[in-house]
A and B are shown apart, each in its own frame.
Chain A
Amino acid sequence: MAKAISMREKKEELDTVTIYIMGQGYKVPSSLTIMKAMEYAGFKLKRGVGCRAGFCGACATVYRKLGDYKIYANLACQTKVEDGMYLTQLPFVPANKAEYNLDEIKPSASTMLRFYPEIARCLSCNACSRVCPQDIQVMDYVQYSLQGQIDKAAELAFDCIQCGLCAIRCPAEIPQYHVATLARRLHGRYHMIAPDTLEQRVKEIEEGKYEKGFEELMSLSEEELKKRYVARDFIDQKKA
């Protein structure tokens, strides 16, 4: 005999999906992210959670979908649950970070190779780019690093949130996101030179140019200060 299903049950049925968290099935509302669904199911998260907004890269998750051979990866805090999702979280990604002193190195291929010789092993399989939740062309920045095109590597890798998914998928065992950090820091330090006005201002402050002004401002009463505040001019050079 078929069980009668009430309208309410039907609606609930529609609004929930079944997901499998580390092998166990759970019914959860379909509107949740993977992260919220795990909490809904009863997990109190410690690992694999951080900003909850797609910025910190703590919540890397891998999953399969029902009837699909592909393995997917994404951020648990930014991905909606789907029916039949079979998932697990990656508590963290063990990856070697080279230690260096930025003052003593130069932006070049040999620097990249010295600290991350494994980049020479890149097979150009592109598994890394495919898995990247930030849609970064990871392989290309690894290759740019190898070619010494540090500027291009740095720009391309700018949006990296260091989730580590690329490193997990890499057959050549390259810690791409650390490579990216090195490239960005070299580029930011040696190619993107700060304007002279910065040094100028630092000098002025160190020489005490503004001390008198501060003394005066700080001696004002709240009322007087308010007047100054209201009267201040606005310079808005739209060139920014």
Chain B
Amino acid sequence: MKYSYFPGCNLKTNAKEYEHTAVEVSKILDAELVEMPVFNCCGTVHSMVSDNTMRRVAPVRILSRSEEHQKELEDTKNTVVTLCSMCSSTLKVVNEEVKEDEEMLQKINWQLERDNLKYSGHSEVKHYLEILRDEVGFEEIIKKVKKQLKGMKIASYYGCMLLHPDKAKIDDSETPTVMESLTLALGGEVVDWPYFKTCCGSYHVVDKEDIVNNQVLKITEGAKKRGANAIITACPLCAYNLDSQQVFLQKKGVIKETIPVFYFTQLMAIALGIKLKNFEDHHVDPKPLLKSLGLI
């Protein structure tokens, strides 16, 4: 099976390892992520635009371009797959909206008409975690595991966008289980903790770093207190905040110990026996932990 995969901007810039591991893993699982030939930003930054229709042109353009892409892929579904939870949320919300509001879809299609594009309204947006859970199945993943993640005590961090708003959530917003199930499938240990969806501070990292620092402190300390030795995420921005700000807090002397932050696909790659390129993008060095557990 092949999926039309929409990377978005972050996966190409700050989260290259997320993309690399996800694509490699997807090949092994026969749920391959095939990148769309051309794509634009999902449009999440356009919240500043007051015109509601214009705001939706970007996501609908992606949906229609993906439909074209799907036609080229042989064995596929009417699905656009994302890795970034921000993109996922934006695309899902808009997809639902235009499905419900034919008039709006029509208006947007008029905008796309001159580019020879048209969105039928028949695509589904899925985060890759959903594909793993609903289409590949954890049983299948267990079969492919070559190296159990013995000794990894993993706190699954969902953040806001995977669970909110209702239109976009990929799991139960109060008791999500998808990342925990994945952890178990890979042979890791699940850490139960309350901060799984406490906001990381998001884009405030650019203008109000204090807010982000407070959030990161709360989240990472919370994970450590429950005995975790790793945090996993599915979002480049969450990963960036959790990872980089710990180093900042450590330098300031606020915290002593740090805890490494991974994309879930990185741990999958280790478990499925894929050689990781490097850990250059990490701020907190994960190598000591992985070495001590014999995982690299």
Residues of A within 8 A of B (CB): 108-110, 120-126, 129-130, 137, 139-140, 143, 146-149, 171
* Chain A nearest Cβ from B173, distance in angstroms: 29
Q: Which of B6-35 contact A (CB under 8 A)?
A: 7, 9, 12-13
Q: Which of B94-145 contact A (CB under 8 A)?
A: 111-112, 114-115
Of the candidates B9, B111, B112, the one having the most CB atoms from chain A within 10 angstroms of its own CB is: B9
Asked if A146 and B9 sit within 8 Å, CB to CB, the answer is: yes
C-alpha gap A140/B36 in the complex (Å) = 13
Let me know if B40 is at the binding interface, CB within 8 A.
yes
Q: Which residues of A contact B54 (CB under 8 A)?
A: 123, 125, 171
Beyond A123-B58, A148-B13, 5 extra complex contacts between A and B, CB < 8 Å: A109-B13, A125-B54, A125-B111, A143-B41, A147-B13
Let me know if B57 is at the binding interface, CB within 8 A.
yes
* Chain A nearest Cβ from B118, distance in angstroms: 13
Which one of A110, A121, A124 lies within 8 Å of B61 (CB-CB)? A124
* Chain B nearest Cβ from A123, distance in angstroms: 6
Let me know if B46 is at the binding interface, CB within 8 A.
yes
Asked if B40 and A122 sit within 8 Å, CB to CB, the answer is: yes
Q: Which residues of A contact B41 (CB under 8 A)?
A: 120, 122, 124, 143, 146
Q: A140 with B38: in contact, given A109-B12, A146-B9 (CB under 8 Å)?
A: yes
Asked if A123 and B46 sit within 8 Å, CB to CB, the answer is: yes
C-alpha gap A71/B91 in the complex (Å) = 31
Residues of B within 8 A of A (CB): 7, 9, 12-13, 38-41, 43, 45-46, 48-49, 54-55, 57-58, 61, 111-112, 114-115
Q: A130 with B114: in contact, given A122-B41, A124-B43, A124-B57 (CB under 8 Å)?
A: yes
Asked if B115 and A143 sit within 8 Å, CB to CB, the answer is: no
Asked if B45 and A126 sit within 8 Å, CB to CB, the answer is: no
C-alpha gap A146/B13 in the complex (Å) = 9
C-alpha gap A225/B58 in the complex (Å) = 66
Closest to B55 in A: A123
Asked if A125 and B9 sit within 8 Å, CB to CB, the answer is: no
Which 9 residue pairs are nearest across A and B when measured between Cβ atoms?
A124-B58, A147-B12, A124-B40, A109-B13, A143-B40, A148-B13, A147-B9, A140-B38, A124-B61
Q: Which residues of B contact A140 (CB under 8 A)?
A: 38, 40
C-alpha gap A173/B54 in the complex (Å) = 15
* Chain B nearest Cβ from A73, distance in angstroms: 13
Q: Which residues of A contact B58 (CB under 8 A)?
A: 122-125
* Chain A nearest Cβ from B236, distance in angstroms: 12
Asked if B13 and A110 sit within 8 Å, CB to CB, the answer is: yes
Q: Which residues of A contact B61 (CB under 8 A)?
A: 124, 126
Closest to B60 in A: A124
Of the candidates A125, A130, A140, A149, the one having the most CB atoms from chain B within 10 angstroms of its own CB is: A125
* Chain A nearest Cβ from B233, distance in angstroms: 20
Which one of A123, A130, A137, A148 lies within 8 Å of B38 (CB-CB)? A137
Closest to B57 in A: A125
* Chain A nearest Cβ from B6, distance in angstroms: 12
Q: Which residues of A contact B40 (CB under 8 A)?
A: 122, 124, 139-140, 143
Report 9 cross-chain contacts, Cβ distance below 8 Å, ordered by A residue. Answer: A120-B45, A124-B41, A124-B58, A124-B61, A130-B115, A143-B38, A143-B41, A146-B41, A147-B12
C-alpha gap A129/B39 in the complex (Å) = 14
Q: Which residues of B contact A148 (CB under 8 A)?
A: 9, 12-13
Q: Which residues of B contact A130 (CB under 8 A)?
A: 114-115
Asked if A109 and B9 sit within 8 Å, CB to CB, the answer is: yes
C-alpha gap A129/B117 in the complex (Å) = 14
Of the candidates B12, B39, B40, the one having the most CB atoms from chain A within 10 angstroms of its own CB is: B40
